[in-house]
């Protein structure tokens, strides 16, 4: 069985997707990165090795996400693509006429504008983490609400409480103040969802030509409170496609399948059992003093990157 593997390692979550020649998803994994991308990649490979049929043949591997470079190197990926390209590809597969993609993950948010299935404009949060999965996790923990129930609680609100959400600090302090003066948890949670949507549209999506169909991806798209807030604010239907949380991994698997290598560089599932380490050092060769990253498998250097001149990476 000929297949293709897509890996998306982000700051909060790690996603694996295996597709076949018909672009059907045979297996999908979604779990926490837990601050260790190397261990997350090894964990995913071990799970796939255990759960996939023995006749699986990996013809190509693609990596994406904030740890895409590291992931690609330690797995022997054939392509390494940025999150914008991967999510645009995944969204356009499920919704071919998609014009706008909203993707909110663990610590970043992005908007992608597409024309004829191709990304023509995009923006990402560069400073503030308000509205991301990590921020919502923190507020759910502080309110003693399971994050899985956050959206359901928001939908119970009859009168959402206005929450200042221009940044994480102001949002949290405003929530505490509203609690102290007697607002209900339901109204505060609903107000927070609305505030975070306004923050996204006023900052990340500022100046963007948002047109429907609008697709919502990422872990936060599972939050029905955020879905409703986007629909009410934009006055447009928000589409949540199947596999919305692993669209980046799916997209990069599609990309490597379209232009497969003659022979994959994939190290195989067995690499998950090997000792993989990543260190860094500062090159003193010129005034740039680049920080050079170095990856080793079983003590052997397999790659160096991060230098500007190619002295080490070549």
Q: How confident is the model at residue 106 (pLDDT cuts 50, 70, 90)?
A: confident
Same fold across 2-87+249-273 and 99-240: yes
Looking at the chain, the number of H-run helices and the number of E-run strands are 9, 13
Residue 15 in tokens: 């996603």
Average pLDDT on 215-221 reads 92
Tell whether domain 99-240 is in CATH 3.40.50.970: no
Average pLDDT on 296-311 reads 92
Residue pair 91/101 in contact by the 8 Å Cβ criterion: yes
HSE-CB of 176 using CA atoms within 13 angstroms: 7
* pLDDT tens per residue across span 247-257: 999 999 999 99
Q: Would you say residue 120 has pLDDT above 90?
A: yes
CATH superfamily of 2-87+249-273: ATPase, nucleotide binding domain (3.30.420.40)
Residue 55 has a pLDDT of 86
Residue 128 has a pLDDT of 66
DSSP state of 36: -
Phi, psi dihedral angles at 193 (to 5 degrees): -60, -45
CA–CA separation, 123 and 79 (whole Å): 23
Average pLDDT on 196-212 reads 88
> Domain locations in the chain?
2-87+249-273, 99-240, 275-314
Q: Mean pLDDT score of the chain, rounded to an integer?
A: 91
DSSP state of 202: I
* pLDDT tens per residue across span 154-203: 999 888 888 876 666 777 788 888 888 888 889 988 988 888 888 888 88
Distances (CA, A) of 297 to 72, 175, 271, 272: 13, 47, 8, 10
DSSP state of 219: G
Residue 210 in tokens: 């948002």
Residue 166 has a pLDDT of 66
Residue 167 has a pLDDT of 67
CA–CA separation, 305 and 292 (whole Å): 6
């Amino acid at each position: 069985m000929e297949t293709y593997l897509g890996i998306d390692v982000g700051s909060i979550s790690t996603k694996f997707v295996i597709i076949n020649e018909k672009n059907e998803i045979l297996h999908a994994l979604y779990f926490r990165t837990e601050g260790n991308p190397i261990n997350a990649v090894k964990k995913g490979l071990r799970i796939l090795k255990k759960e996939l049929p023995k006749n699986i043949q990996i013809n190509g591997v693609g990596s994406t996400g904030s740890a895409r470079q590291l992931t690609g190197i330690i797995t022997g990926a054939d392509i390494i693509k940025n999150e914008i390209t991967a999510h645009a590809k995944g969204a356009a597969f499920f919704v071919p006429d998609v014009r706008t993609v909203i993707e909110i993950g663990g610590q970043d948010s992005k908007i992608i504008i597409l024309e004829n299935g191709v990304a023509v404009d995009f923006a990402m949060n560069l400073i503030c983490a308000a509205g991301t999965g990590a921020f919502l996790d923190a507020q759910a923990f502080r309110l003693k609400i399971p994050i899985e129930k956050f959206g359901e609680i928001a939908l119970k609100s009859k009168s959402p409480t206005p929450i200042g959400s221009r940044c994480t600090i102001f949002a949290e302090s405003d929530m505490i103040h509203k609690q102290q003066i007697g607002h209900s948890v339901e109204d505060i949670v609903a107000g927070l969802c609305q505030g975070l949507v306004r923050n996204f549209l006023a900052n990340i999506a500022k100046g963007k030509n948002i047109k429907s169909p609008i697709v919502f991806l990422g872990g936060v798209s599972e939050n029905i409170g955020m879905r409703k807030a986007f629909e009410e604010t934009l006055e447009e239907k928000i589409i949540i496609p199947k596999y919305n949380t692993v669209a980046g991994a799916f997209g990069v698997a599609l990309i490597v399948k379209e232009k497969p290598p003659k022979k994959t560089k994939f190290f195989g599932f067995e690499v998950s059992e090997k000792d993989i380490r990543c260190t860094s050092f500062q090159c003193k060769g010129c005034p740039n003093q680049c920080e050079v990253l170095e990856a080793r498998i079983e003590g052997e250097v397999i790659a160096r990157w991060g230098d500007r001149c190619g002295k080490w990476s070549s």
